[in-house]
Structure 1
């Protein structure tokens, strides 16, 4: 048993943080004279409102629970359902059913549910259930299969003990596709009963709530989300098309509007399109999602990201992040995106706590691990960012974002040979032009000016055929000491509201410009626009 030293709320031993106030949890019963201390994070962050003390240096990750701790009996991972149909296009439907069941189970406060990205990372592997349970820190595994034939669907579900594979419960459901919502409810309630979880009426209502009653709109939404989860520019644009088709069938489909907003936000964040070209569409979609359902944590997260990426409205973004987390503290995207936002505000201790809560729920999520490492980079805690990134590379040796974080950290440590290796790998693996900016900075610091000019020429050529943020030539010119040219590009970046200007106040790339009057003027424009 653990409890929060701030509010006194008790938790099972699998949890590390209070879901109400983000304080790290203590072991054992409280005593009247006990100081409010907690487990030291791997990043050395003191607990909110309490002094430092004696801590157990443990970390929730793919290595499983802390030594000596048992995994909470009320914990489960929902694996992606196997597609038993001959049509590979049914894969998205299988994944969608599993994800919807997973999302429903997260509404139960007493049940720990491994997040989608980590649970789905085992898709197509031959990992034993004991390995999966240990990696995700859960006691039970839910797996299933789906066979579709015309308008008929057969769904097989089973729950097993992660430790030994012992069968706990299974069932087969043969239904018409028109009954898909009813069968989802049956499965959800049956799983809850099998787990012997006490279900409050409010939790039951939240679990069984449906964003649409139309099976066709629902299937289009599932296909859109499956594409969105791939997060490539092509797939994001295709995802938007499916969300729009879902809305054509059900104009009141809140999550489909949130999906459109999320797709436009990521396209802007990845700098595939100039932000000012997507701003109106993204804002309209995010607002409609909340108008249709202001109790949706997903919709408030979408609005938070719109406020952040398109409007630089930090206060507005925080308001919607907090609302989303009030509605669903287990929504991993809200936890880690809010953590990144807090790093922008230089509230680093809070940022790392949010990141660690998200990592506890979703330890194998690569973008999440990358964003926590990025927050450490912004805080200029380069060694810690490198340490976390090295662990992430063990999971995915070619993940470009991790190589980028390691590259910029080694660059700031003046270990330029290592920096260039990682930054060149990041550019090679991703093809993202923005990363050439940081590569150019590292080349400039290494005195390889001919190669720097080549990077600048490449960015210039690319800008003639598609959007390239003027921010990236700016940082390269700043590294070359050509401050006036750098500031010219920076002013153009402000004109198009280049997304990465959000980090202007904390990005080490701009340190050489901070005393320049024109830079101060641009920074003031960003602050006043917020």
Structure 2
């Protein structure tokens, strides 16, 4: 079953594991959704447990209990009574049957007319050999996404290409149907010197027909005007009603400087890699962009992100990075008080450095209110929710972020990280491996994988994943500490103590957070040394203390009153 479909009053959205009815949304586990989809594909049939398990868990051995839990979760979501079912019936010694009738697949729903309320925007096909054009092939759709996101009640999804041949050759219409959107935007770009040719097509996913298409032959200096024109045309062809304010925001330009814009696009590409090299190059490009246009609010907001996020990986002193990031974020909001990106990065600073959880949550919500399609805001808000222990909300928010950009390695890794905190290890590993396939060089994937494997007692796999982090040059101190933690837990204490000395030596030439020592000492079961290091981390306002409530590497310390006092100081215990 492709795309969305209905069961009774419920709109089922498999792509985001959601059920909607009566103005509310409920999220279920991905495997539970797969069970529901399979039952929906076999209506009026009794589907045996063996058949369901074979379809949903094809390569994994699971017991009937796992399937039973999925059915129970679906019944709770549907408010269905097992004794008097109206959605899913249990057939004794037989299996399960879907009782409720389906009401329209996505294709049927799309033919009913009315405004088109969802769109997936694809990267442009680069028909040039100029490497600069490759950035525009991603940057132009990114700008169009940003513009279309200003339209109320329009769901905008980014679909990016990956290196896999399968993805490159995929049919955009088929992908659009799978995503459950009503339209897709595709196109090609050619560039020769200062000349630009851009061809775009807006297609109806229901029937594959062209809603609108055009070709633009312009100078590169006219790029912004072309982007404005495309956004206006799309909004008109989708038959969307907009207020004057929405129309103004649709074509709002954050810079008139083409060079600054190109530098910003390059910077975003690098910053999203979440690697030491990525942050270094991103900051370099953003510095240049701001020099070209000091009033480029988006560049200021992205600059604040690039400065502050390395603190999360323990590679930068928070007392150096966050004050600078705050100044840059406030400058972005001074230029544009309604910039969602500015409110989002300010929220991150309030959370990670000020430990002001209430104000941080308020700023995240403000960013999402300003731009509900802003995936990064949903992504970082999910971290706050997870760090507070609000796991169901966190998973929902991380899933919401991913639904806006399903091929983002970062957002896939982010969901995996949230699942790790929620101790849903099987899903976490599955999600982290997906992220690693999308970008094999993303540190967060392997950090998350290593921790999940360690929690499962798979120490060899954990060390291999942590070692990948070191090879990538990201979170080096933490990665060494993680490996030492495994050595300590597995009885190789000499190797763990060697890591203590390595971290001390490393601290002579680069920043090493005290939390790294906490991790090593925890693995060695040296509680007093771990608490001493934790207290130093608190005095230094180290970023990773925000995870103190949920991080697995702190589990052995939780019952210590000194640990609980630090939780209070961070604002995570009353």
Shorter-normalised TM range = 0.7 to 0.9
Q: Give the Cα–Cα distance (whole angstroms) in 2 for the partners of residues 87 and 93 of structure 1.
A: 10
Distance 1:529 1:238, change over 3 A: farther
Task: From the superposition, tell whether residues 361 and 420 of structure 1 become closer, same or farther in structure 2 (CA, over 3 Å).
Answer: same
Counterparts of 1:43-192 in structure 2 under 5 Å?
53-54=79-80, 69-70=105-106, 73=110, 74=116, 75-115=118-158, 118-121=159-162, 125-162=168-205, 166-192=209-235
Structure 2 match to 1:445 = 489
| Rounded Cα–Cα distance in structure 2 between residues aligned with 1:133 and 1:410 | 35
Q: Deviations over 1:231-251 (max 9, x none)?
A: 332332332233333333433
1:68-467 to 2 correspondence within 5 Å? 69-70=105-106, 73=110, 74=116, 75-115=118-158, 118-121=159-162, 125-162=168-205, 166-389=209-432, 392=435, 400-428=443-471, 431-433=474-476, 434-467=478-511
Q: Tell me, yes or no, if the aligned pair for 1:16 and 1:357 is still in contact at 8 Å.
A: no
Distance 2:193 2:559 in 1: 67
Report the alpha carbon displacement of residue 443 of structure 1 after superposing the two structures with TM: 1.9
Change (3 A) 1:51 1:431: closer
Distance in 1, Cα, partners of 2:199 & 2:20? 40
The aligned residue for residue 33 of structure 1 is none
SS state at 1:363 partner: coil
User: What is the rounded CA distance, in whole Å, between the counterparts of 1:292 and 1:12 in structure 2?
Assistant: 41
CA contact (8 A) 1:312 1:529 kept: no
**8 Å contact from structure 1 (residues 423, 439) kept in 2:** yes
How many Å apart are 1:137 and its aligned residue?
3.6
Counterpart secondary structure, 1:211: coil
- CA–CA distance in structure 2, aligned partners of residues 303 and 380 of structure 1: 29
- Aligned pair partner of 1:510 in 522, 533, 554: 554
Whole-Å separation in 1 of the counterparts to 2:12 and 2:271: 34
Residues 201 and 26 of structure 1: CA distance in aligned 2, closer, same or farther (over 3 Å): same
Please give the alpha-carbon distance, in whole angstroms, between the structure 2 residues aligned to 1:247 and 1:193: 34
Separation in 1 of the partners of 2:239 and 2:171?
24
Distance 1:275 1:422 in 2: 26
- Cα deviations across residues 465-500 of structure 1 (Å, max 9, x unaligned)? 211222112211122122232233223323432211
Q: Secondary structure at the match of 1:119?
A: coil
Q: Give the gaps of 5 or more residues in structure 2.
A: 33-68, 82-86, 89-101, 111-115
Distance 1:2 1:38, change over 3 A: farther
Tell me whether 182-191 or 317-326 shows the greater mean CA deviation: 182-191
Within the alignment, does 1:474 sit opposite 2:500 as a pair? no
What SS does the corresponding residue of 1:114 show, helix, strand or coil? strand
**For the Cα contact (< 8 Å) 2:485–2:520, is it kept in 1?**
yes
Are the aligned partners of 1:133 and 1:163 in contact in 2 as well (CA < 8 Å)?
no
Tell me which structure has the larger Cα radius of gyration: 2
Distance 1:426 1:224, change over 3 A: closer
Distance verdict in 2 for CA 1:393–1:179, change over 3 Å: closer
**SS at the partner of 1:231?**
coil
Contact 2:199-2:215 within 8 A present in 1 as well? yes
Q: Quick check: 1:437–1:475 contact (8 Å CA) kept in 2?
A: yes
Measure how far apart 1:37 and its partner are.
Answer: 8.2
Distance 2:283 2:272 in 1: 12
Distance across 2 between alignment mates of 1:286 and 1:445: 42
TM-score by length of structure 1 reads 0.82
Of residues 184-193 and 409-418 in structure 1, the stretch that sits farther from structure 2 once superposed is 409-418
**Residues 123, 324 of structure 1: alpha-carbon distance in 2 compared, 3 angstrom cutoff:** farther
Post-superposition Cα deviations, 1:151-199, rounded to whole Å, max 9, x if no partner, equal: 4322222233557755443211122333322221111122233444444
CA drift of 1:503 comes to 0.8
Asked whether the 8 Å contact 1:146–1:155 carries over to 2, the reply is yes
Q: 3-state DSSP class of the match of 1:160?
A: strand
Higher mean C-alpha deviation, range 394-403 or range 305-314: 394-403
Tell me the matched-pair count: 502
Q: In the aligned structure 1, how far is the partner of 2:538 from the partner of 2:517?
A: 13
Q: Deviations over 1:92-114 (max 9, x none)?
A: 23321121012212223343322
Question: What's the CA shift for 1:331?
Answer: 0.8
Task: Tell me if the contact between 2:463 and 2:483 (Cα under 8 Å) persists in the aligned partners.
Answer: yes
Deviation, 1:277, is: 1.4
TM-score normalised over the length of structure 2: 0.76
Structure 1: state its 5+ residue gaps: 4-9, 18-22, 31-35, 58-65
Q: Distance in 2 between matches of 1:395 and 1:219?
A: 24
TM-aligned CA deviation for residue 396 of structure 1: 6.0
2:8 maps to 1:26: no
**Cα 1:157–1:420, aligned 2, differ >3 Å: closer, same or farther?**
same
Provide the rounded CA distance (Å) in 1 between the counterparts of 2:206 and 2:496: 54
Structure 1 residues 113 and 527 mapped into 2: Cα distance closer, same or farther (>3 Å)? Answer: closer
Could you say if the C-alpha distance between residues 154 and 345 of structure 1 is closer, same or farther in structure 2, counting changes exceeding 3 Å? Answer: same
